[in-house]
């Protein structure tokens, strides 16, 4: 039982004892004491006045006396207005630290055989253009949330659904056929996804020219857009693809291969892996059977033209198309199908979809239709809806080239990290190959932290003019703290200090900064739990930042290795080592690796 719960429990007993009343547990609020007040935990007494029928001060004192007499952990108490501040004995804090100091994965819940199984789908790119900053946010979120869920004791399967078919890829294919002159990524020395993306852009340009021409000829805009020869050709190509035309299939396979190899490189740079990759070309027909079954049962209805619809008016929504008149499926049909398939496959307890908030409506409808179809697991689907990444001039638009390309950004971060490192010169004595390990870690640390520290739900702004910071509330700041501790550890080892020399039986009086650190660390299990519940890496990022700030103060004002009292010195060293390991584990949940020097 956590100490907070224990205090709450005794507070309830105290009310019973003092006032003879059974208090509502919801009225008991135990929280961390504010920084500007002395104390460790605070019991808010205002809600308890209804039981005591005394003044806040009197009630606080009575409860304080009660608690201190029953809980040996508590050293003293103080009543300020309606707040009962409890101060724990120093030995309680050091005892807590002594207990956890050797935990390999402090705060992380070990996996049990009956742990809930969570499927996390993320990334899900289209194979017609390279990844951009928006995809980076998606990938980082998906990966980080998966790690957080694992740390919180869940079984996690990370899946990707690559959208490798459809009109968009046909546009790139057609464009390459017309203007590519047989170029390949190898010949062009360009990443495959970039090359295909360029042809996609080319298609759009040529298509727009045709549309403009048609409009000039007096055709109205809508018709022109629908009748431009290029579009008709692309549609023709899609039909051929669906009819398994060998030439089209060959071209399709080749270009998809280019793109996927390009993606793999980007994923590698981002440190992202999947347990399973699905391809839409293999899943796009799923769901039709579900729809026809539901139609037979009268859950869905059919229009005269043969199209099939779900009526969601009883849920306050509209009608939703599930099968076109020609019997082909739409996105929703596929998603119904894949959800069903995955449930058959995994019997997941939860299925998280990391998808932008522009698809809120889609996922709402997806759940409702599954509910309508009678699948009891419909409420196990969860749409982790994240906000868009915007540029100063607004939303990114890939067709207009107003995007921040993922590979470019990664490159740029690398050069910045390298440049700063070289300027500071602290790695001058480090061999080249080790530096080449550290630069990307710092670069990616900056980028990943920058994105993950903001609440997923919120739209975030990225200004390419102001490059991502390496100072302040940043990834490198946290890495730097880690690196400093590692350096102290090396020095300790060099001077023969052994870490097992702490005598815990002797009273260790933690200083202000040490105690603050232990208090912060004590909060971690709760932070992790909340991060897993809310699917929010930002909570982990903020926690780590607070911890690091406090560690740096400690580092600044206290000396570790030069401390004369050996017990104290070793305690500080142990605390530092623990913080370093804890930081590395915490950053790992954000997908960030630690450099050993920087």
Residues in region 481-510 near RNA by CB under 7 A: 483-484, 486-488, 491
State which of positions 509-548 bind RNA (CB under 7 A): 530, 538-539, 542, 545
The SS3 assignment for 11 reads helix
Q: Are 456 and 384 in contact (CB under 8 A)?
A: yes
Under the binding rule (CB under 7 A), the answer on residue 295 touching RNA is no
**Look-up of token digits 């869920």:** 149
Which of helix, strand or coil describes residue 47? helix
CB of 348 to RNA, least distance (A): 22
Least CB distance to RNA at residue 362 (A): 5
Query: Is residue 221 within the footprint of RNA (CB under 7 A)?
Result: no
The candidate with the shortest Cα–Cα distance to 410, out of 436, 446, 462, is 446
CB nearer to RNA: give 268 or 458: 458
Residues in 450-469 that interact with RNA by CB under 7 A: 453-455, 457-461, 463, 469
Q: Give the whole-angstrom CA distance, residue 130 versus residue 192.
A: 9
Determine, following the binding rule CB under 7 A, whether residue 257 of this chain makes contact with RNA: no
Which residue, 51 or 83, is less far from RNA as judged by CB? 83
CA-to-CA dists, residue 327 to 237, 434, 448, angstroms: 19, 58, 44
Query: Which residue among 178, 341, 549, 577 contacts RNA (CB under 7 A)?
Result: 549
Strand 389-391 and strand 319-323: the pairing is unpaired
**Residues 106-135 close enough to bind RNA by CB under 7 A:** 126
597 sits near RNA (criterion: CB under 7 A): yes
Burial 262-290 (b: 16+ CB within 10 A, else e): bbeebbebbbbebeeebbbbebbebbbeb
> Which are the contacts of 360, defined by CB distance < 8 A and separation ≥ 6?
383, 385
Q: Which is nearer to RNA, 508 or 531 (CB)?
A: 531
In 29-172, at which residue ranges do the beta strands (DSSP E only) sit? Answer: 30-32, 41-44, 74-80, 83-88, 117-121, 155-162
Residue 541's H or E segment, with its range, is helix 537-557
Q: Which stretch binds RNA (CB under 7 A): 61-69, 75-83, 294-302, 586-594?
A: 75-83
Q: Which is nearer to RNA, 89 or 484 (CB)?
A: 484
47 binds RNA (CB under 7 A): yes
CB of 168 to RNA, least distance (A): 7
Backbone angles phi, psi at 526, to 5 degrees: -65, -40
3-state secondary structure at position 156:
strand
As given in the structure block, the two tokens for residue 219 are 């055709």
Q: Which is nearer to RNA, 214 or 538 (CB)?
A: 538
Smaller CB distance to RNA: residue 412 or 455?
455
Q: Does 556 contact RNA by CB under 7 A? A: yes
Residue placing its CB nearer to RNA in the complex, 341 or 553: 553
The bridge status of strand 41-44 relative to strand 30-32 is: antiparallel
126-185: contacts with RNA (CB under 7 A): 126, 163, 166-167
What are the φ/ψ torsions at residue 305 (nearest 5 degrees)?
A: -80, 0
Asked if 338 contacts 290 with a C-beta cutoff of 8 angstroms, the reply is no
- Under rule CB under 7 A, how many of the chain's residues touch RNA? 90
> Binders of RNA among 320-379, rule CB under 7 A?
321, 324-326, 330-331, 334, 357-362
Q: For residue 562, state whether it binds RNA (rule: CB under 7 A).
A: yes
Query: From the CB of 488, what's the least distance to RNA, in Å?
Result: 4
Nearest residue (CB) to RNA, 170 versus 508: 170
Q: Is 244 in the site for RNA (CB under 7 A)?
A: no
Shortest spacing between CB 205 and RNA, in angstroms: 19
Spatial distance between the Cα atoms of 535 and 383, rounded to a whole number of angstroms? 10
Using CB atoms within 10 Å of the CB of residue 502, give its burial: 0 to 12 exposed, 13 to 18 middle, 19+ buried: buried
Closer to RNA by CB, 127 or 155: give it.
127
Q: CA 427 to CA 122: how far, in whole Å?
A: 37
**Nearer to RNA by C-beta: 365 or 406?**
365
Minimum distance, C-beta of residue 134 to RNA, in the bound complex (Å): 12
């Amino acid at each position: 039982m956590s100490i907070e719960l224990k205090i709450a429990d005794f507070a309830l007993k105290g009310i019973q004892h003092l006032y003879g009343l059974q208090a509502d547990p919801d009225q008991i609020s135990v929280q961390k004491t504010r920084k500007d007040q002395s104390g460790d935990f605070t019991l808010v007494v205002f809600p308890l006045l209804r039981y005591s029928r005394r003044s806040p001060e009197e009630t606080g004192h009575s409860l304080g006396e009660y608690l201190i007499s029953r809980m040996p952990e508590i050293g003293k108490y103080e009543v300020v207005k309606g707040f009962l501040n409890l101060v724990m004995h120093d030995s309680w804090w050091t005892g807590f630290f002594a207990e956890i100091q050797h935990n390999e994965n402090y705060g992380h819940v070990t996996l049990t055989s009956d742990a809930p199984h969570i499927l996390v789908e993320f990334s899900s790119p289209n194979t017609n253009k390279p990844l951009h900053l928006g995809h980076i946010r998606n990938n980082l979120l998906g990966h980080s949330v998966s790690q957080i869920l694992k740390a919180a004791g869940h079984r996690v399967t990370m899946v990707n659904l690559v959208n490798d078919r459809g009109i968009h890829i046909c546009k790139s294919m057609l464009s390459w056929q017309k203007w590519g002159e047989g170029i390949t990524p190898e010949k062009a020395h360009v990443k495959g996804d970039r090359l295909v993306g360029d042809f996609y852009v080319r298609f759009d340009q040529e298509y727009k020219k045709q549309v403009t021409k048609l409009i000039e000829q007096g055709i109205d805009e809508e018709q022109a857009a629908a009748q431009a020869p290029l579009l008709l050709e692309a549609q023709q190509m899609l039909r051929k693809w669906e009819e398994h035309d060998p030439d089209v299939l060959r071209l399709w396979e080749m270009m998809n291969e280019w793109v996927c190899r390009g993606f793999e490189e980007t994923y590698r740079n981002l440190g992202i892996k999947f347990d399973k990759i699905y391809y839409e070309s293999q899943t796009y027909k799923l769901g039709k059977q579900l729809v026809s079954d539901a139609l037979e049962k009268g859950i869905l209805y059919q229009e005269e033209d043969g199209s099939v619809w779900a009526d969601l008016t009883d849920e306050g929504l509209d009608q939703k198309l599930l099968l076109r008149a020609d019997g082909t499926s739409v996105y929703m049909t596929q998603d119904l199908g894949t959800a069903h398939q995955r449930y058959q496959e995994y019997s997941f307890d939860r299925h998280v979809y990391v998808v932008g908030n522009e698809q809120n409506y889609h996922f709402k409808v997806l759940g409702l239709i599954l509910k309508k179809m009678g699948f009891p697991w419909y409420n196990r689907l969860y749409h982790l809806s994240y906000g868009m990444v915007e540029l100063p001039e607004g939303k990114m638009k890939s067709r207009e080239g107003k995007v921040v390309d993922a590979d470019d950004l990664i490159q740029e971060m690398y050069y910045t990290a390298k440049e700063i490192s070289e300027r500071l010169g602290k790695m001058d004595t480090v061999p080249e190959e080790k530096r080449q390990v550290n630069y990307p870690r710092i670069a990616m640390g900056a980028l990943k932290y920058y994105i993950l520290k903001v609440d997923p739900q919120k739209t975030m702004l990225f200004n390419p003019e102001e490059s991502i910071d390496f100072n302040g509330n940043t990834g490198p700041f946290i890495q730097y703290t880690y690196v400093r501790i590692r350096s102290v550890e090396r020095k300790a080892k060099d001077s023969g200090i052994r870490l097992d020399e702490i005598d815990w039986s002797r009273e260790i009086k933690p200083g202000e900064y040490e105690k603050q650190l232990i208090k912060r660390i004590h909060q971690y299990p709760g932070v992790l739990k909340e991060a897993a519940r809310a699917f929010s890496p930002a909570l982990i990022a903020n926690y780590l930042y607070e911890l690091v700030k406090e560690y740096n103060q400690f580092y600044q004002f206290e000396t570790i290795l030069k401390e004369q009292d050996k017990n104290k010195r070793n305690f500080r060293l142990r605390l530092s080592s623990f913080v370093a390991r804890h930081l590395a584990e915490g950053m790992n949940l954000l997908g960030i690796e630690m450099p050993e020097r920087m």
